[in-house]
Structure 1
Amino acid sequence: MMYTLYLERDSFLHSMDPRVKIIGSFLGVVALILFNSPYLLLAIFLGLILILNFLGKIQYREIFKALKPLMPIVLIAMVIWPFILKPWYFGLLIGVGYGIRLLSVALLTLGLIMTTSQKDLVLGFIKMGMPYEIGLTLTIALRYIPTLYMLTQTIMDAQKSRALELEKGNFLQRAKNTVPVLIPLIVASIKTAHELSIALESRAFGASKRRTFLHSIKMETKDYISLGVLISLFFMAVYARYYLKVGYIKLF
């Protein structure tokens, strides 16, 4: 079974050219790396949520549901930093900032997938000069992230119904309990990859070097304006970081 994060809505973000969203997501990730202040990163994270809600018509519960699988990684990032930096509360503050940064980067990627269909995403990469094979591979990789996550949840629920206790016991015991989940997941992943290869071969993928497309994309006035705004915001972020010294806390 295939799952997707794409949500079909009639919104500004959905109608935007995928190239603008790809460039904007990349610039956003680079800009987030420049800062480590938890206060500024929190403001950016909340701003991204509002943008997805108002410009993409993505509901808050849908956003947090997509971010839910990342919460264990975020918590680990928060817990590690107090052991690295002293005093511990300073390390915790920095850890919170890095956790929020991770969520913001994920939100940029998820926002791109939520508001862009697979065919438009592939076309966006190709129009930017990326070879079709690489663009398709990257898109398939992004496409299968929610599929593997939901498949993992399904396997875990099935094993729990068979009295497998995944949360009980010490670390070694819980690691051992994941084996009945990992083996079916690996088998299902191999089967899915095999089915995908058959589907590509049945469509004569790679038979011709020159490709034609049923659908096409074209930049409009609003796309050029949006791209200009995104590039301007990026350079403002660079200026604020390196010239105004805003949003960065010296760690050592």
Structure 2
Amino acid sequence: MMYSLYVERKSLLHSLDPRVKIIGIAVFGTIGMLTRDPIASPVIFVLTLLGLKLLGKLDVKVQLKALKPLIPIFILTFISWPIVAKPLERGILLGIAYTFRIMGITLMAFGLMMTTRQRDLIRGFTKLGLPYEIGLTVLIALRYVPTLHALANNIMDAQKSRGLELEKGNFLERSRKMIAIVIPLLVLSIRTAHELAMAMESRAFGASKRRTHLTELKMKRKDYVALAVVFTIALLYLSLKFSLLPRL
């Protein structure tokens, strides 16, 4: 059982060549990695939300829902910096910067999957020179995040229907109750991986080194314009970073 993040829409992002979107995510993701400012990182995150809203017609609620399974990671990132970085004020600022940096980069990756069909995304990776096996592995790994989240929700609902009260008790009691969620989740994850492996073997995955494709990707004028916009934004950011705004 695999859940897809793809959202059917008629938008500019949906119509772009997947290679353009992959390159765009790589460029903007690099910009996000270079940003360590507690103001610039949230700004990049908000701009990503607005960009996917305006260019991809993806509601903000849909975008935030995709990030929901990773909330514990975001919280852990934020609270860890005040502990390891001194003084406390600097740790809090670093926590804000790195948390929003991770959120922004993750949202970019999810935005790519929400605006691109799986077959087109894999084809885009292979056209860029990535081996098909690696491209498929990366895509399956990314798609497993919403899959695990959906499985966990189903298990929690099933356990609640049996009388398990996950919200009651102190932190230790609730952590102990989570064992009833984690163990079935591990079992279902292994079963899902096994079913995926059998499905790939039944389709003779890897039997032939030479692959054929139903459709070929062709770059259009709007794709080249989009690439030019991406690299222009990247150059403007780098010029600001290394000249006017050294903190970004």
TM-score w.r.t. length of structure 1? 0.91
Instruction: After TM superposition, give the deviation of residue 28 of structure 1 in Å.
Output: 1.3
More deviation in 230-239 or 185-194? 230-239
2:154 corresponding residue in structure 1: 154
> How far apart, in 2, do the equivalents of 1:98 and 1:35 lie?
9
Distance 2:47 2:152 in 1: 31
Alignment of 1:34-73 (within 5 A): 34-73=34-73
Instruction: Identify the residue that residue 176 of structure 1 maps to in structure 2.
Output: 176
1:140 alignment partner in structure 2: 140
Report how far residue 167 of structure 1 moved. Answer: 4.0
CA–CA separation in structure 1 for the residues paired with 2:44 and 2:34:
12
**Alpha-carbon shift at residue 144 of structure 1 (Å):** 2.2
Deviation at 1:157, TM superposition (A): 1.7
Deviation at 1:191, TM superposition (A): 1.6
Q: Deviations over 1:129-170 (max 9, x none)?
A: 111111111122222221111001111121122222334445
Could you tell me how far apart the structure 2 residues matched to 1:42 and 1:224 are?
Answer: 29
> 2:53 corresponds to which letter in structure 1?
N
- Residue segments in structure 1 that go unaligned for 5+ positions in a row: none
Conserved? CA contact 2:69–2:145, under 8 Å? no
Structure 1 pair 86–194 and aligned structure 2 pair: CA distance change class (3 A): closer
What letter matches 1:244 in structure 2?
L
Aligned length: 248
* Residue 234 of structure 1: how far off its partner (Å): 1.8
The answer to whether the 8 A contact 1:28-1:234 is kept is: yes
Rate the CA distance shift 1:199–1:83 in 2: closer, same or farther, 3 A. closer
Unpaired runs of 5+ residues, structure 2, are none
**CA distance in structure 2 between the aligned counterparts of 1:143 and 1:238, rounded to whole angstroms:** 32
Query: Hey, what's the Cα distance between the residues in 1 that align with 2:85 and 2:185?
Result: 38
Mapping 1:12-23, distance limit 5 Å: 12-23=12-23
State the superposition RMSD in angstroms.
Answer: 1.8
SS in 1 for 2:73: helix
Q: List per-residue Cα deviations over 1:14-66 (Å, max 9, x = no partner).
A: 01111111111111111112121121122211111111011100011111111
For 2:210 and 2:242, how far apart are their aligned partners in 1? 45
CA distance in 2, matches of 1:85, 1:197: 44
Partner of 1:93: 93
Task: Report the secondary structure of 1:26's partner residue.
Answer: helix
2:37/2:247 contact within 8 Å kept: yes
- Give the equivalent residue in structure 2 for 1:244: 244
Greater Cα shift, 109-118 or 164-173:
164-173
TM-score, normalization by structure 2: 0.92
| Counterparts of 1:147 and 1:39, CA distance in 2 | 33
Give the Cα separation in 2 of the matches to 1:9 and 1:176. 42
Alignment deviations for residues 55-106 of structure 1 (CA, whole Å, 9 cap, x no partner): 1000111111112222232222222222333442332222112211111011
- Contact 1:240/1:246, CA 8 A, preserved across alignment: yes
Q: SS of the residue aligned with 1:187?
A: helix
Bigger Cα displacement from structure 2, 114-123 vs 185-194? 185-194
Identity %: 50
Which residue identity is paired with 2:178? T
Shift of 1:202: 1.8
Structure 1 counterpart of 2:162, which letter? Answer: R
Contact conserved, 1:118 with 1:143, CA < 8 A, in 2? no
Distance 2:227 2:207 in 1: 36
TM superposition shift of 1:171: 4.6
2:117 maps to 1:117 = yes
